[in-house]
């Protein structure tokens, strides 16, 4: 780098972050309570500080300065001066190097040291004490990024919600064990470019892949001390920077991410990012000072009124971002727009989304966060998904988010599990889930796609473990098996864990196939947990957040033969079936009020004898059989599907309801190898714990 100038020029307060304009770099950082902020420039190795400048101007609580002739690749950090008064919420300590909250790339790794804490670790006054040691050697640094990549005539897939099938996956675990990929590329963005990966997703009928957090995150100290790691990534260190360990080539940086997005988009697959804007990695008052805490703790975090030393912890992670503060909300919005433009991602899943909608009086569908996104001309057009619960007051808000947002539907997960496990009195429950949970979402002109239906997710058992374990087995997490959910609504069918017993394995396989079929024939947006199609097991661990190893990684070798191949093929069959019949993915809620074709309403319910259900039969606690006929006119010709569900312990005969149609046997989860064929009988045997799907297209001259 050229000789450093003696001082910075004033620069501009907008945009926030470090912005290269071709002639130099403008630095702008928000702090409402700092007295002054210093910019620290480091050598190429990131270890030696070679220059330090005061940001010379402050406009509307944004400190800013301009460094002429500086180029992308410059390594920097901040030091903030101000009051150290934890009891008033202020924790300024200029001895601590701080990451730019808007840093678009990070240099180096965080090395845990007591110097990272603003207070003296072990002091009698705990966090009221003050630590004067410099933290720079232990800190990663911010890197100035040029962001000059051009997307040309690139087009997003723009998949409609009614055709969307989501695949939730961890970026590293997804490809780490795939031997068809060069080893150095496995577990990185580069691996997503491989034909083997893309072909697998397309064969499954996947239209969108939802990645667990890929924004830069922290490896928590307590996990490192246990010789574990933060695998899932829900501990954000930088809202604008990709996680460095997910890059095969650090020099390529963000371009590796862009290439992966291009390849997936070319295959018609959208990218949804799981994002964490409810808290940061800095924890509570006993956590380290890495960025936001040191820049303006009282603005960035929600603190207890009158007791500002302590953090409101609605997240369970030590702190809660103060999303109601205009500058904090701006940071979140700027981050979302950055990923949507610089990387062309197609949507976001908001971790603990209820927190983002919590105003002073509690959760509000009209909260500033929701309003900001819904009016944004770019973000409002993307796929927006909320996890509608947290541990704070009034934290369960399933169905209460505003139009424009879809929501993870935990009621679907639980209801479907209970029905197929054979629990009593589940007919009304499974009916609601098959119809898109209208009691939750059929309001404010929302559509069935608002319900993100899932059987399993990263948090909990995999599908294979759901049918193999009745209890959690989380001992590897180092918490004496006390972590994770205790009520999994699972069943082991006689033996805990893996077994060679053919009868038990046969029941387990039927249970899995029935669950998968229910997922794909229900109204709403199906989400498949990555690896469920290949019998992925976590050996009974239902909280593998710290397991960056074979417990969490996908074993691709099982797709060469055996039951995993059969299961993956079934998923492809079900997604194709869902596309073939609009009555399996209706774009609107249906209530049995519209005649689709003579003698056939849009929705009708029957028992196994083809009798329409009455109020008494609906509530029969012993009833574990159900037939659902649905019809739509959403295609050129009306289509009709008939679902026959048998959750009992015995094979049962079903009579088909009138009128007689030219049925095609589309799927039988008890016999997945059966090819689709014409079905001419008026009755059919449905094996215990299985589902049969029949379909018919009504030609206009029929």
Helix (H), strand (E), coil (C) string for 575-602: HHHHHHCHHHCCCCCCCCCCEEECCEEC
Closest CA to 136 of 48, 37, 31, 27: 48
Q: Can you tell me whether residue 433 is helix, strand or coil?
A: helix
Measured in residues, the chain has a length of 702
How many Cα atoms sit within 13 Å of 578 on the Cβ side?
A: 29
The active-site residue out of 220, 274, 285, 387 is 387
Q: Locate tokens 């037939």: which residue?
A: 627
Instruction: Outline where DSSP puts E strands in 236-368.
Output: 270-275, 303-304, 307-311, 347-350, 358-359, 362-363
The active-site residue out of 210, 243, 274, 351 is 351
User: Would you give the DSSP letter of residue 268?
Assistant: T
List 307's β-bridge partners, or say none.
Answer: 304
Q: Locate tokens 């509307």: which residue?
A: 60
In the structure encoding, which two tokens stand for residue 191, read together? 């691996």
d(CA 171, CA 645): 35
- Catalytic site includes residue 256: no
Q: Which residues contact 273 (CB under 8 A, 6 or more apart)?
A: 210, 211, 213, 214, 215, 339, 345, 347, 348, 349
d(CA 356, CA 276): 10
Long-range contacts made by residues 84-89, C-beta under 8 angstroms, separation at least 24?
Answer: 84/118, 84/130, 86/119, 86/127, 86/128, 86/285, 86/308, 86/309, 87/128, 87/308, 87/309, 88/298, 88/308, 89/297, 89/298, 89/303, 89/308, 89/309
Closest CA to 348 of 320, 380, 391, 376: 380
List 321's β-bridge partners, or say none.
Answer: 301
- Catalytic site includes residue 351: yes
Query: Measured on CA atoms in the order 8, 14, 19, 22, is the torsion positive or negative?
Result: negative
User: Please, where are the H alpha helices in 522-654?
Assistant: 563-580, 615-618
d(CA 671, CA 669): 5
The residues annotated as belonging to the active site are 351, 387
């Amino acid at each position: 780098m050229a000789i450093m100038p003696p001082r910075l020029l004033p620069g501009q307060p907008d945009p926030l972050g470090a912005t290269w304009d071709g002639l130099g770099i403008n630095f702008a950082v928000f702090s409402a309570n700092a007295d002054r902020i210093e910019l620290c420039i480091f050598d190429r190795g990131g270890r030696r500080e070679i220059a330090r400048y005061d940001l010379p101007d402050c406009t509307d609580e944004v400190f800013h300065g301009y460094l002429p002739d500086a180029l992308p690749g410059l390594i920097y950090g901040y030091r903030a001066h101000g009051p150290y008064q934890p009891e008033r919420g202020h924790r300024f300590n200029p001895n601590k190097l701080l990451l730019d909250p808007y840093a678009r790339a990070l240099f180096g790794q965080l090395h845990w040291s007591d110097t990272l804490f603003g207070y003296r670790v072990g002091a009698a006054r705990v966090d009221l004490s003050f630590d004067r040691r410099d933290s720079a050697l232990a800190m990663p640094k911010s890197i100035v990024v040029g962001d000059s990549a051009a997307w040309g005539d690139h087009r997003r897939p723009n998949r409609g919600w009614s055709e969307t099938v989501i695949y939730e996956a961890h970026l590293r675990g997804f490809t780490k064990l795939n031997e068809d990929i060069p080893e150095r590329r496995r577990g990185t963005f580069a691996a997503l470019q491989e034909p083997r990966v893309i072909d697998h997703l397309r064969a499954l009928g996947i239209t969108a892949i939802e990645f667990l957090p890929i924004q830069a995150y922290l490896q928590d100290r307590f996990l490192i001390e246990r010789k574990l790691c933060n695998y899932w990534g829900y501990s954000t260190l930088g809202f604008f920077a990709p996680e460095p360990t997910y890059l095969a080539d650090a020099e390529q940086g963000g371009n590796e991410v862009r290439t992966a997005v291009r390849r997936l988009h070319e295959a018609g697959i959208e990218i949804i990012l799981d994002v964490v804007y409810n808290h940061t990695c800095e924890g509570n008052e006993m956590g380290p000072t890495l960025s936001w805490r040191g820049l303006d703790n009282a603005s960035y975090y929600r603190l207890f009124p009158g007791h500002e030393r302590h953090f409101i912890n609605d997240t369970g992670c030590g702190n809660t971002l103060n999303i109601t503060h205009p500058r904090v909300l701006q940071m979140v919005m700027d981050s979302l727009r950055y990923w949507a433009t610089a990387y062309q991602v197609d949507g976001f899943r908001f971790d603990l989304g209820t927190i983002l909608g919590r105003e002073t009086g509690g959760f509000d569908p009209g909260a500033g966060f929701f309003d900001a996104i819904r009016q944004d001309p770019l973000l409002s057009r993307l796929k927006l998904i909320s996890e509608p619960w947290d541990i704070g007051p009034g934290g369960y808000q399933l169905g209460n988010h505003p139009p424009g947002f879809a929501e993870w539907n935990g009621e679907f997960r639980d209801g479907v599990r209970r029905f197929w496990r054979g629990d009593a009195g589940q007919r009304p429950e499974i009916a609601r889930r098959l119809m898109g949970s209208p009691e939750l979402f059929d309001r404010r002109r929302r559509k069935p796609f608002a319900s993100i239906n899932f059987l399993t997710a990263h948090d909990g058992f995999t599908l294979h473990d759901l049918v193999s374990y009745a209890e959690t087995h989380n001992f590897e997490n180092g918490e004496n098996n006390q972590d994770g959910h205790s009520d999994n609504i699972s069943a082991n069918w006689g033996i805990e864990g893996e077994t060679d017993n053919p009868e038990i394995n046969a029941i387990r396989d039927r249970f899995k196939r029935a669950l998968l079929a229910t997922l794909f024939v229900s109204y709403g947006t199906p989400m498949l947990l990555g690896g469920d199609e290949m019998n992925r097991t976590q050996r009974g661990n239902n909280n593998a957040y710290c397991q960056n190893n074979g417990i969490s990684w996908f074993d691709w070798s099982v797709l060469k033969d055996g039951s995993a191949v059969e299961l993956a093929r079934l998923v492809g069959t079900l997604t194709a079936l869902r596309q073939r019949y609009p009555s399996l993915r209706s774009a609107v809620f249906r209530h049995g009020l519209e005649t689709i074709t003579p003698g056939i309403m849009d929705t009708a319910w029957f028992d196994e004898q083809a009798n329409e259900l009455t109020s008494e039969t609906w509530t029969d606690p012993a009833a574990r059989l159900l037939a659902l006929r649905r019809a739509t006119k959403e295609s050129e010709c009306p289509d009709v599907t008939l679902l026959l569900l048998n959750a009992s312990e015995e094979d049962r005969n079903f009579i088909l309801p009138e009128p007689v149609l030219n049925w095609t046997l589309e799927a039988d989860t008890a016999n997945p190898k059966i090819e689709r064929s014409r079905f001419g009988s008026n009755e059919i045997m449905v094996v215990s714990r299985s589902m049969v799907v029949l379909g018919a297209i009504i030609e206009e001259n029929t």
